[in-house]
Amino acid sequence: MLRRIASRCARGLGAGGGAHPAVGLCHPGRSSSSRSSDAPRNQPPSSEFVARPVGVCSMMRLPVQASPEGLDAAFVGVPLDIGTSNRPGARFGPRRIREESVMLRTANPSMGALPFQSLMVADLGDVNVNLYNLTDSCRLIREAYQKIVAAGCIPLTLGGDHTITYPILQAMAKKHGPVGLLHVDAHMDTADKALGEKLYHGTPFRRCVDEGLLDCKRVVQIGIRGSAMTLDPYRYSRSQGFRVVPAEDCWMKSLVPLMGEVRQQVGGRPIYISFDIDGLDPAYAPGTGTPETAGLTPSQALEIIRGCQGLNVVGCDLVEVSPPYDPFGNTALLAANLLFEMLCALPKVTVV
């Protein structure tokens, strides 16, 4: 019986004959060698042959490996939530998103995308963050992502609170220079400090501006809403050249026209996608730390991500999923689907 299961897993998991043991990015482990152009690519196993509860809990049950070498794209977990200001629990986000990802399949008919026929993809496990030191965690994240992008691998990140985007963008800018940013969120995340601290999930993009990591004329923030401390909460972002699209400007309409404008704005240079799940209305995504009412819908989220198809996307993240506030797993399921959509929007993905 076990031999038959192993055989079926090997067929479904593609190259390498199955998943390697799960390991963290800061731990030694097996790494794959660079693949030749005619080598088989990793494929998530089909539920026709492998039951969904079977196998290692990786993203889409893809092989887990320790090195980005030979990969075109990879899912990476960053289980950090010590930068949160309200409800914690995002440290459990990567694991829960992976659990819900068993529902995902290999093709995206709506986009005409076949990512696993185009790209070598795996799960790189989690960054081994320091849950007792936020500054040190940022260093560990930055160093891990520098290795990923240096290998030519595009990271798709499972967060984790939004603090993690700051060290990721440090790694991105080291390779690509200042990048454009598509930021979906209920909040600006451009505060300067809180409780005297300049590093937490409300400040990542302020720190990025301070360090010149962003091409500010190619930064778009969508879905911003909620109460504020002033009547002009957009002042800082707009003063830097960001385009800010409040949630009110998105209510009850398709965002396809907006994304046409965004595509013209960002052009063909590198762009990073950072998607905070609280950009969506809490009716759809309750499992998050700082929910705000009257947000985006899942269909609008799909329009935003699909609108990035063909752009020079160099990395993505999906942050702020907090499983303790997601009792039925709907938020994590939505997050898993959005990450798959991001994978399908990457450059070089076959579109038919």
Q: Is 162 annotated as a binding residue?
A: yes
pLDDT for res 35: 53
pLDDT for res 37: 60
Q: Which residues contact 162 (CB under 8 A, 6 or more apart)?
A: 83, 185, 189, 201, 202, 204, 274, 276, 319, 320
Per-residue model confidence as pLDDT tens digits over 34-85: 455 667 899 999 999 999 999 999 999 999 999 999 999 999 999 999 999 9
Contact 159, 141 (CB under 8 A): no
- Alpha carbon 221 to its chain centroid, in Å, reads 16
Its pTM stands at 0.91
CB neighbours of residue 135 within 10 Å: 10
Angle between helices 165-176 and 134-150 (to 10 degrees): 40
What is the sign of the dihedral through the CA atoms of 286, 275, 315 and 148?
A: negative
**Residue 229 DSSP label:** S
Residue 160: cis peptide before it, omega within 30 degrees of 0: yes
Cα 33 to Cα 11: distance, rounded to the nearest angstrom: 20
Residue 104 lies in a domain: yes
The tally of domains found in the chain comes to 1
Residue 228 lies in a domain: yes
Q: Is 185 annotated as a binding residue?
A: yes
pLDDT for res 39: 74
pLDDT for res 32: 41
Residue 48 lies in a domain: no
* pLDDT at position 26 over 70: no
Q: Is 210 annotated as a binding residue?
A: no
Cα 258 to Cα 57: distance, rounded to the nearest angstrom: 37
Q: Which domain holds residue 321?
A: 69-343
Per-residue model confidence as pLDDT tens digits over 218-259: 999 999 999 999 999 999 999 999 999 999 999 999 999 999
Residue 219 lies in a domain: yes
Residue 326 lies in a domain: yes
Contact 79, 129 (CB under 8 A): yes
Residue 110 lies in a domain: yes
Per-residue model confidence as pLDDT tens digits over 174-206: 999 999 999 999 999 999 999 999 999 999 999
DSSP assignment of 96-111: HHHHHGGG--S-BTTT
Please report, for the domain that includes residue 130, its CATH number.
Answer: 3.40.800.10
Residue 168 lies in a domain: yes
Residue 233 lies in a domain: yes
Over the chain, what is the mean pLDDT?
A: 91
